[in-house]
């Protein structure tokens, strides 16, 4: 399995789209690191300075994750090279989980690289490091927030393999993004207010909603280790496992042509 994951990463190195996504994501991190629009906000909420990146870039992050998952997961199917892989005796289950694992790991690694660049740029910009948020709290918040993008990658990746179409996967991601926004508007949820008046319901655990509401609801002193925030992480893990089970079950039985 490990060798197959490494092979998937080697294949990614040859995709121009992946390099474009990487450069855009890191450039966006630098942009927000030097953006002064939240200076007053950080003055009164210093603990949010280093962890707020995914909240501010939730929509672009989901879009980039969708493009990555759609392109990487369906490449072998759209190019009709997957038959050659199975013809030489590669197990379908190992193939599926290697692709899915490499996609999730890439998403986590990209998010980690974005935060590294963002924090380094903030330190250079301010001339000092902010230590209000402890390392343990940062890592806990980073883990739960990154799981939201990993869940998006898993769902779109499986859709991409099931439909064998990059266009179908991208469309699924865009519809998902639209519904997340539309349902919030329909329910009267205002994420910009400190205390949204409407109940989130199940929408509270939708990945992009979690990312966008985290700054107000979870990334505050005493809430990072809360049960509510933990549930958001567990919901993302459940979404990953359900997607993996559905994709694996389909691929084991599907006729690949």
Do 155 and 177 form a contact (C-beta atoms < 8 A)? no
First vs last Cα of the chain: how many Å apart? 24
| Mean pLDDT, range 175-201, rounded to an integer | 68
141 phi and psi, to 5 degrees? -65, -45
Could you read off the pLDDT of 6-59 as tens digits, one per residue? 877 787 888 888 899 999 999 999 999 998 888 888 888 888 889 999 999 999
Confidence of residue 251 (pLDDT cuts 50, 70, 90): confident
| Torsion sign across C-alpha atoms 11, 58, 241, 161 | negative
Residue that the structure tokens 């739960």 belong to = 144
Q: Is the pLDDT of residue 197 over 50?
A: no
- DSSP summary character for residue 1: -
Cα–Cα distance, 128 to 188 (Å, whole number): 40
Structural element, H or E, at residue 41 = helix 39-44
- Angle between helix axes 166-187 and 207-217 (nearest 10 degrees) is 40
Calculate the dihedral angle through the C-alpha atoms of 6, 62, 225, 142, rounding to the nearest 10 degrees. 50
């Amino acid at each position: 399995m490990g060798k197959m994951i490494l092979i998937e990463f080697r294949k990614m190195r040859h995709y121009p789209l992946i390099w474009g996504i990487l450069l855009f994501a890191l450039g966006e991190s630098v942009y927000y690191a030097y953006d002064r629009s939240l200076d007053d906000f950080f003055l009164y909420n210093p603990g949010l300075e280093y962890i707020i990146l995914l909240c501010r870039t939730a929509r672009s992050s989901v879009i980039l994750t969708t493009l990555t998952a759609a392109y990487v997961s369906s490449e072998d199917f759209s190019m009709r090279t997957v038959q050659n892989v199975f013809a030489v005796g590669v197990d379908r289950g190992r193939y599926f989980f290697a692709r899915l694992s490499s996609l999730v790991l890439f998403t986590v690694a990209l998010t980690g690289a974005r935060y590294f660049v963002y924090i380094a740029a903030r330190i250079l910009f301010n001339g000092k490091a902010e230590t209000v948020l402890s390392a343990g709290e940062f890592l806990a918040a980073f883990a739960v927030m990154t799981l939201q993008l990993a869940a998006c990658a898993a769902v779109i990746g499986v859709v991409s393999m099931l439909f064998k179409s990059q266009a179908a996967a991208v469309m699924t991601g865009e519809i998902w993004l639209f519904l997340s926004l539309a349902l919030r508007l329909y329910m009267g949820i205002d994420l910009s207010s400190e205390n949204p008046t409407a109940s989130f319901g199940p929408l509270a655990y939708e990945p992009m909603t979690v990312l966008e509401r985290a700054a107000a609801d979870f990334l505050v002193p005493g809430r990072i280790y809360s049960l509510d925030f933990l549930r958001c992480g567990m919901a993302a893990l459940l979404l990953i496992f359900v997607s993996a089970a559905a994709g694996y079950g389909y691929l084991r039985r599907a006729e690949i042509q």
